[in-house]
Amino acid sequence: MTRNPERSFLPLLAVVATLVLGLFVLRPLLADPVPDAGELEALKAASAEDIRVEVLDRGQTFGGILSRANLSPSEQHALLLAFREQANPARMRDGTEITLRWIRGNEELRGVEVALNPDELVRLDRDAFGWRSSVIETPVWADTVMVAGLIERDLWSAVVLNPDLREMPMGDRARVIDLMDRVFQWQLDFSRQIQSGDAYRLVFERMVRPDGSMRTGRILAAELVNRNTPLHAIWFDLYGDGEGGYYDLEGESLRRAFIRAPLEYRRISSVFTQNRLHPVYGINRPHHGVDYAAPTGTPIMATADGVVTRREFVRGYGNLIDIRHANGFLTRYAHLNSFDSSVRVGARVRQGQTIGTVGMTGTATGPHLHYEMHRNGQPVDPLNVDIPAGDPIPENARDRWNDYLGVRFAMLESLPSAPDLRLAAAQAERTATVDDD
Ligand SMILES: [Zn+2]
């Protein structure tokens, strides 16, 4: 179920950018229509320009393209000088789009736009004194997406293959999974705890470019029903600085001293999608840790703030890092391919910081991370340990929080619940079976 209940143009772009960009914005829109971008279309009729779009091929130069645009050498020079005030023409990448504009019926080039990257273009205009240049940021608008899904096989396919996200580019759907992983990183190890029959409901905000791709995104509200237990995450900007944090329905912070898994779910799932049920061999005995299969070179994160107490090669473990944390905790990361240069014995590390990469040093038949957690010298299960939480919503922000929570929770509740989704899936299966007869 995809809806767009909130949609607002960012202040800057509505007036300025649409007028200034004119047909440049329209051209990609017309070629590949973007849903809900109707506001821009009115400009189509206003054009009295001829436009040619060139794409920089391997071996071509900006100057080469300009020389085919009826420019005198001195004018070409002046235009390049103006361009250099914004960017280096020698460093333009293959595939850069260059738009040339003429007034209809006039041979004299009037303007040039160079799309430096998906978010910026250099605009060159001719006036009475020559060529002037400026940088324009590509317009971006906020789009709120609401979606629900049942996890039948794994989280990856439940999100990426959700038909209600089909209008989103594939890369953006993968980013939604990253965002979910981030939101619930203190509560769940997605690779080990998500089960068939789990369900999700999400409200997330995308900052969308004219081509429909996501520039940034943020989950505003999420529900993950894991083994029939709903977990909630509501984003709330407590300090009004745009950073914000995630809280459950009681206003308790989701943040914990430890994240559950030292690898991003997506990195692990890339192995698991093809080969989900294969066990990882090369286990050290006695085995007191968790093994994560992941490609060599996958970044490993410190699961909590701490101090590095070991960084060395050990028989069996291979390249090993131990980190000491508050409250008698220690974490261990083994079989590393490489250590991050910031990791020395005695160095402080932060939660989420990259400390090294996955490998298969020591006794290991395939690349994987061996992860251990100890408390007061005893191995503990990272998924079954009580961990200190972050601060809840303070009293003086409770009214604002309650208002905000009401709105966000209503949005979540408007989406199909886990039982709804299970019922729909069961009905779909029954229908399919009947069709087979
Ligand atoms: Zn292991």
Nearest to 159 by CA among 2, 294, 352, 6: 2
Per the model's pLDDT, the better-predicted residue between 276 and 336 turns out to be: 336
The alpha carbon of 82 is separated from its chain's Cα centroid by a whole number of angstroms, namely 35
User: Which domains, and CATH codes, for the chain?
Assistant: 48-137 (3.10.450.350), 141-255+391-436 (3.10.450.350), 265-384 (2.70.70.10)
Enumerate the β-bridge partners of residue 82.
none
**Strand order, beta sheet including 120-127:** 49-55, 97-103, 109-117, 120-127, 130-137
316 C-alpha vs ligand 1 centroid, how far in Å? 10
Extract long-range pairs of 64-72: CB within 8 Å, 24+ residues apart.
65/98, 65/100, 66/112, 69/100, 69/109, 70/107, 70/108, 70/109, 71/109
304 C-alpha vs ligand 1 centroid, how far in Å? 20
Contact criterion met (CB below 8 Å) for 22 and 59: no
Residue 65 has pLDDT above 80, yes or no: yes
For residue range 358-394, what is the model confidence (pLDDT) as tens digits?
999 998 888 999 999 999 999 898 888 888 888 999 9
303 C-alpha vs ligand 1 centroid, how far in Å? 17
Checking DSSP bridges between strand 378-380 and strand 368-375, what pairing results, if any? antiparallel
pTM of the model: 0.70
For residue range 205-221, what is the model confidence (pLDDT) as tens digits?
988 887 778 878 899 99
211 C-alpha vs ligand 1 centroid, how far in Å? 45
Q: What is the pLDDT of residue 162?
A: 94
Q: What is the pLDDT of residue 321?
A: 98
Lowest mean pLDDT among 144-158, 282-296, 421-435: 282-296
365 C-alpha vs ligand 1 centroid, how far in Å? 11
Mean pLDDT of 79-94: 90
Q: Which residues contact 114 (CB under 8 A, 6 or more apart)?
A: 62, 83, 87, 92, 96, 97, 98, 99, 121, 122, 124
How far is it, in rounded angstroms, from Cα 43 to Cα 2? Answer: 28
358 C-alpha vs ligand 1 centroid, how far in Å? 12
281 C-alpha vs ligand 1 centroid, how far in Å? 8
Q: Confidence band (pLDDT; 50, 70, 90) for 47?
A: low
The share of the chain scoring above pLDDT 70, in percent, equals 84
Residue 6 has pLDDT above 80, yes or no: no
Q: What is the pLDDT of residue 434?
A: 67
Contact criterion met (CB below 8 Å) for 206 and 213: no
Per the model's pLDDT, the better-predicted residue between 424 and 267 turns out to be: 424
Report the chain's mean pLDDT, rounded to a whole number. Answer: 83
260 C-alpha vs ligand 1 centroid, how far in Å? 16
334 C-alpha vs ligand 1 centroid, how far in Å? 8
362 C-alpha vs ligand 1 centroid, how far in Å? 11
Where does residue 328 rank: exposed (0-12), middle (13-18), buried (19+ CB within 10 A)? exposed
Mean pLDDT of 41-66: 73
Residue 105 has pLDDT above 60, yes or no: yes
Single-letter amino acid code for the residue at 23: L
How far is it, in rounded angstroms, from Cα 262 to Cα 371? Answer: 8
For residue range 279-317, what is the model confidence (pLDDT) as tens digits?
444 343 456 788 898 999 999 999 999 999 999 999 999
Q: What is the pLDDT of residue 135?
A: 92
Single-letter amino acid code for the residue at 218: R
279 C-alpha vs ligand 1 centroid, how far in Å? 11
Q: Confidence band (pLDDT; 50, 70, 90) for 276?
A: very low
Q: What is the pLDDT of residue 138?
A: 79
152 C-alpha vs ligand 1 centroid, how far in Å? 28
How far is it, in rounded angstroms, from Cα 136 to Cα 134? Answer: 6
Query: What are the tokens at 189?
Result: 């190890």
182 C-alpha vs ligand 1 centroid, how far in Å? 24
- Give the environment of ion ligand 1: residues with CB less than 5 A: 283, 289, 291, 370
Q: Confidence band (pLDDT; 50, 70, 90) for 348?
A: very high
How far is it, in rounded angstroms, from Cα 172 to Cα 177? Answer: 9
